[in-house]
Amino acid sequence: MQRVRDDGLLRNDPEAYAQEKQDGYISGVEEHRPAVISVNSLIASLAVSELLGRIHPYREEGNDQYAQIFFSLSSMEIIYEPDEPICKILCDKVGIGDANPPLGQLELSVMETP
């Protein structure tokens, strides 16, 4: 199905097809740049290590210190940030789902025209 989508995009919007091809979203075409497999492997490995760290805590610090993890290839470092405190304004709104009015705030409602 992806191939059908790509062929349709080429027929109906050649400029969008060219942009997606350049961005690497269309597969099966001639590739002039090397793949980013090393970057993908690095982040996949970090994700698996993070999952294992959550299931079987192995770190010297608690998992709450590793809420966000970033990496920089230019400086060859892994940067991590801790959990942030819970927002006192929105904490009672988290997880309520699709509500009308949104977040219980009438001013966020969309007025329907008759």
In the chain, domain spans: 1-33
What would the two tokens of residue 15 be? Answer: 């400029």
Query: Average per-residue pLDDT in the chain?
Result: 81
Distance CA 16, CA 69 (A): 33
pLDDT for 55 equals: 92
Tens of pLDDT along 38-89? 888 989 999 999 999 889 988 888 888 888 888 888 889 999 999 888 888 8
Share of the chain above pLDDT 90, in %: 11
The count of residues in the chain is 114
Question: Integer distance in angstroms from the first to the last C-alpha of the chain?
Answer: 41
